């Protein structure tokens, strides 16, 4: 593997030469270091997929303009709006593929993710290459996204490092969450992974649970969907619903998504439980709290010291959150808050209604 300083004049021409020969290039983006291969070259894509390891998801491509994107995907009105109003930026827009890239980069349903990065070096690389390159992060499966050469070498085994032909070293990048992934092929756009960028006017969503397992699964899915945002913000699940409706079960799902194996019990009488968690990419403390026994909302700060818990990486599941409405309103500018109401429709049927409050759009 050759390592060169990305600031030298011939770094991009050298990278273009490697890409055209079917090689792999690690390059800087506005999120983390990405790994590039010629999206049309089957040999290069095979090498990329082997490097990444266990790949069960589609691999995005990177373009440098709306016009280039149109060569690879069919842009509906929703996608056009994203490109025209929010890009370039840290968003991956999923559209129907026009079958111009190696099919292994697409999903099983024929969709393709496209990145239009807001990073001058990445855009210059794409422009000089003259076509789409892959836009996946340069980590191997399950490992930490790299923000420096040292970071990448630490978390990438030697045999995988040897698969990379060129590393374009731009120094230490600012640690930011990876891109927000938006599927535009549905009736309304759906965020599949929350990154640093937040789309405005998040609609209310309703899911139905017919048993405990389904409630747990909803808790897990919501956590995984927004976990990436905890690199920048504290995450609060504000739960409301009658006794026995499933608030604690949903909190157990949150804990399971974080890899917490401790028994997560209702904190009604203890008021607050804390569970440290650590994954290869994320770490912090999961706080499970209950305001039921507090006489009034002022006790939330004086007794639970809620403001001290609000640090990036920390996740809070708050049962009977309505009592904390004033505090939640105050924290809208600094926390990602998921408001969840659970209603009993029948004896075993629960309606779980949630909406998301993003700091950028308060």
Tens-digit pLDDT profile for residues 79-88: 998 898 889 9
Please compute the mean of the pLDDT values over residues 188-204 and round it to a whole number. Answer: 64
User: Which stretch of 34-43, 63-72, 279-288 has the lowest confidence by average pLDDT?
Assistant: 279-288
Dist. CA 252–CA 217, nearest whole Å: 9
Asked whether the predicted pLDDT for residue 200 surpasses 60, the reply is no
Q: Which of 73, 54, 55 is nearest to 63 (CA)?
A: 73
Q: Which of 294, 256, 254 is nearest to 272 (CA)?
A: 294
Judge whether residue 182 has pLDDT over 90: no
Q: Above 80 in pLDDT, residue 256?
A: yes
User: Is pLDDT of 12 > 80?
Assistant: yes
Higher pLDDT, 360 or 261: 261
Asked if the model's pLDDT at residue 176 lies above 90, the reply is no
Three-state secondary structure of 14-31: HHHHHHHCCCCEEEECCC
pTM over 0.85: no
Residue indicated by tokens 């239009």: 116
Tokens of 299: 């006790």
pLDDT at 134 over 90: yes
Residue 66's pLDDT band (boundaries 50, 70, 90)? very high
Residue 351: its H or E element: strand 350-357
What single DSSP character describes residue 135?
-
**What is the dihedral sign for C-alpha 306, 310, 313, 315?**
positive
Query: Mean pLDDT over residues 213-239, rounded?
Result: 91
How many whole angstroms separate alpha carbon 48 and alpha carbon 39?
10
Q: What is the pLDDT of residues 233-245, one digit of tens each?
A: 899 999 988 888 9
The full set of domains in the chain, from first to last, is 2-183 (3.90.870.10), 200-361 (3.40.50.300)
């Amino acid at each position: 593997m050759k390592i060169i300083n990305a600031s030298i004049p011939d770094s991009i021409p050298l990278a273009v030469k490697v890409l055209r020969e079917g090689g792999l290039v690690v390059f800087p983006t506005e999120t983390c270091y990405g790994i590039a291969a010629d999206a049309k070259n089957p040999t290069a894509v095979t090498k990329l997929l082997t490097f990444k390891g266990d790949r069960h998801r589609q691999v995005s491509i990177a373009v440098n303009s709306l016009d280039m994107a149109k060569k690879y995907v069919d842009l509906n009105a929703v996608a056009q709006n994203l490109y025209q109003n929010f890009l370039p930026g840290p968003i991956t827009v999923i559209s129907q593929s026009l079958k111009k890239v190696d099919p292994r980069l697409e999903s099983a349903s024929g969709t393709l993710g496209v990145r239009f990065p807001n990073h001058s070096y990445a855009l210059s690389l794409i422009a000089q290459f003259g076509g789409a390159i892959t836009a996946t992060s340069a980590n191997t499966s399950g490992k930490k996204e790299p923000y420096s050469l040292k970071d990448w070498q630490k978390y990438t085994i030697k045999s995988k490092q040897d698969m990379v032909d060129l590393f374009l070293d731009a120094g230490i990048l600012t640690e930011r969450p990876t891109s927000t992934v938006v599927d535009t092929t549905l009736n309304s756009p759906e965020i599949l992974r929350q990154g640093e960028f937040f789309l405005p006017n998040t609609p209310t969503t309703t899911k139905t649970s017919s048993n405990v397992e389904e409630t747990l699964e909803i808790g897990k899915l919501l956590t995984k969907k927004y976990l990436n945002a905890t690199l920048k913000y504290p995450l609060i699940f504000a739960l409301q619903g009658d006794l026995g409706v499933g608030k604690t079960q949903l909190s157990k799902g949150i804990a399971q998504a974080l890899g917490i194996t401790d028994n997560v019990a209702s904190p009604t009488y203890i008021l607050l439980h804390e569970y440290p968690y650590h994954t290869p990419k994320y770490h912090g403390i999961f706080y499970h709290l209950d305001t039921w026994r507090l006489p009034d909302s002022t006790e939330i700060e004086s007794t639970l010291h809620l403001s001290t818990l609000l640090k990036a990486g920390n996740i809070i599941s708050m049962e009977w959150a309505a009592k904390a409405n004033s505090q939640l309103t105050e924290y809208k500018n600094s926390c990602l808050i998921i408001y969840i109401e659970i209603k009993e429709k029948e004896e075993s049927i629960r309606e779980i209604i949630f909406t998301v409050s993003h700091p950028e759009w308060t």
